[in-house]
Chains A and B, each alone.
Chain A
Amino acid sequence: DGGITQSPKYLFRKEGQNVTLSCEQNLNHDAMYWYRQDPGQGLRLIYYSQIVNDFQKGDIAEGYSVSREKKESFPLTVTSAQKNPTAFYLCASSWQAVETQYFGPGTRLLVL
């Protein structure tokens, strides 16, 4: 898992609630990413950021939001607009966009 931490390990969301997943890295990486993993599917990119105060939508950004106020931190908010949020969420970071990505341990989000 390198120097990337995610919290919490498990998160429960109630109907209509926004929840925020934390991702912190101490590797001095410029780029950070959020992926969603569902059973039997490859990881899908939600959002990514290559520099502080800038981020780009990935393939499935609808219902999610992010911020990158600090180089070390890239929190992901799952909003009430995301109708199927149950999944395993993985945060990753790398020095540059084409370099090997280092993944955090993941957060499993469940809906009550």
Chain B
Amino acid sequence: KNQVEQSPQSLIILEGKNCTLQCNYTVSPFSNLRWYKQDTGRGPVSLTIMTFSENTKSNGRYTATLDADTKQSSLHITASQLSDSASYICVVGLRGLDGNKLVFGAGTILRVKS
């Protein structure tokens, strides 16, 4: 079954600290992996997208890694800010016989405290 599991479910950190969010997937055949940031009551916004051959991609203070062999990805946030408080969603794309499809994780809720 195609699944995306994220951990932890929620996380609280102090402003200025770093954190790492995890994503494990069992999606096949794999096409790409994306991380989205979703503020409360808003639509998700894309942070990064990686294909099979990419193992790291950065977007400002956000750095995503991908290990296609172990089917794991992580999102590292450096020097966190209050505005980083949001849900972070891991999304894996697959190439199916009936077309391309996205499988969404449930998200990790991050709260940054001052």
Query: Which residues of A are at the interface with B, using a C-beta cutoff of 8 A?
Result: 1, 4, 6, 35, 40-45, 56, 88, 90, 92, 97-98, 100-106, 108
Contact = CB atoms under 8 A, between A and B. Distances in A.
Contacts, number: 52
Interface residues of B, number: 25
Which 3 A-B residue pairs are closest in the complex by CB-CB distance? Answer: A103-B43, A42-B104, A43-B104
B25 to A, nearest CB: 11
B103 A104 contact: no
A65 to B, nearest CB: 20
A66 B78 CA distance: 42
Residue among B43, B104, B105 with the highest chain A CB neighbour number at 10 A: B43
A44 B2 CA distance: 13
A43 B101 CA distance: 12
Interface string B94-108: 010001111111110
B88 to A, nearest CB: 12
